[in-house]
Structure 1
């Protein structure tokens, strides 16, 4: 009679610059479900990994921000297609990480795919909402257009490992920014699997960089980094002291800051509106004389 075989647990890697490096320190941590069953090994990223991710995001910014809005929308729509194709895998990871039933986890994946499509559709429409022609007292055209702010550090929500992640990442990308994401510390697997989707989609390397590990350990160097232009503190919800510390560090180079929701269990199923789409854009105003 043969002995029952042991399952081989997957050891994930970081996603930086379109590649899958190990953590600089070589550290990993055990990812478990609500019953403390060992699911996988996730990399425990370091400050050096955070700096490498910022460098990769800056390198990828020119090409992504310079692409046409229509092209960005098509690329993001392809990501949604691939998310849909791996629905059962993501549903299993969400169920294990958040303690949801199969039906509830599938519903969250479906909502995440729908939200990604929704933001993809906004890519070539943001300028119509945030821009416009301004009346001036003179023979000039005065036009305002939104432009991406640059590299955005995103602390993914802790309690909504996929839908919350999509809700904070997709609007950053739709408006032409590049991102460094700190995945949910407790349930990082959907984010790490999203990295695999991005690597096999049309998203250029460096546009999205995904780190896993201790949120506070990653957030501090990202908030203080001089080449990060903005930071979303969604993952610091319920950690008022940490949020204040990060906001203070971000002020050193005048980063844009989106403050965390009042509670870690914020309702990510609500209509997102356009707030996050417009949070990380700058307005460029151009004057042009009327006539020949």
Structure 2
């Protein structure tokens, strides 16, 4: 009896995530993703400037619906993402271990921390307004109330030192407050980000709320920083030289900028990144005999 021939492995094809769909790069380019020993893991799409512009357009289109959803609803949607991450825990552990060159045990701990962080941010959805807003004392018969509102489209350069936990730590705070996001994934280890896109696509997150691009951080950062329809940019994954260039480009339309800094992604993230992408609306409302009408500024 002849031996059964060895089965040919079917390698996974990774794609970009734009507007809730999975296109290949419009340029048709890919690049090799390898492990710490130089062994091929996959071919990832090498996104172009055109892909970046398409992603911004998708994020802008999705902004109205996502920012208009209730805080409670956004929290439920984010919690559903955490549920689905939990269901694919083994896959993410394998991808983090291979891409980051760490042991499987350490990778599993990072995946668990990423899931916990996603749940943590989901819980903030209907609480951040109490932290960022409030009633203001004024001289006159008025109520004066300040409330936070999302900034708009946020470009995010994912951290280069943490392919999943760092990614979650910069994406979740931007979307939980009602912003939409375009993410340039970790350049050397993009697979967890591209797999996270698959989770988002099969959860309750509306298409376009999160858009994931893989490729060269500098190549993607430049058009995102200069794009007039991007309202803010998080430079977590940029080195000092690139960050300086992108800050100059971002100044053209007065983008909010979160500058890169030394981060320990395993520590309590606090509220800084949620507050970074919020605007404050102040409403004046007359009291007493002046009537019930009011105006907002």
Deviations 1:56-112 (A, max 9, x none): 000000000000000000000000000011000000000001111111101000000
Indicate whether 1:271 and 2:273 are aligned: no
Counterpart check, 1:108 vs 2:105:
no
- In structure 2, distance between residues paired with 1:31 and 1:240: 24
Q: 1:164 aligns with which of 163, 166, 172?
A: 166
The structure whose Rg is larger is 2
**Following TM superposition, where does structure 1 have runs of at least 4 consecutive aligned residues deviating by more than 6 angstroms?**
none
How far did 1:5 drift?
A: 3.6
Cα deviations by residue, 1:99-148 (Å, 9 ceiling, x for unpaired): 11111101000000000000000010010000000000000000000000
- Confirm or deny that 1:19 pairs with 2:21: yes
TM-score, structure 2 normalization: 0.95
- 1:241 lines up with 2:241 in the alignment: yes
Choose which of 30, 43, 46 in structure 1 pairs with 2:45: 43
Q: Which residue of 2 aligns with 1:288?
A: 285
Q: How much does 1:4 deviate?
A: 2.9
SS state at 1:180 partner: strand
Give the stretch that moved more between structures: 6-15 or 137-146.
6-15
State the SS of the aligned residue for 1:11: coil
Describe the SS at the equivalent of 1:235. coil
User: 1:33 Cα shift?
Assistant: 0.5
3-state secondary structure, aligned to 1:205: coil
CA-based RMSD = 0.9
Q: In 2, distance between residues paired with 1:3 and 1:176? A: 53
- 2-structure distance, mates of 1:30, 1:261: 28
Per the normalisation by structure 1, the TM-score is: 0.97
Deviation at 1:3, TM superposition (A): 4.2
Task: Indicate conservation of the 8 Å contact 1:9/1:41, yes or no.
Answer: no
Matched residue pairs, number? 287
- In the alignment, what sits opposite 2:295? none
Please state how far the C-alpha of 1:2 moved relative to its aligned partner. 4.6
How far apart are residue 270 of structure 1 and its match?
1.0
Q: Among 147, 150, 172, which residue is 1:148 paired with?
A: 150
How far apart are 1:49 and its partner, in Å?
Answer: 0.1
The one of 205, 208, 215 equivalent to 1:206 is: 208
Q: Mind listing any 5+ residue stretches in structure 1 that lack a counterpart?
A: none
The residue aligned with 1:91 is 93
Partner Cα separation in structure 1 for residue 129 and residue 265 of structure 2: 25
User: Which runs of no fewer than 5 residues in structure 2 stay unpaired?
Assistant: 292-297
Aligned position for 2:126: 124
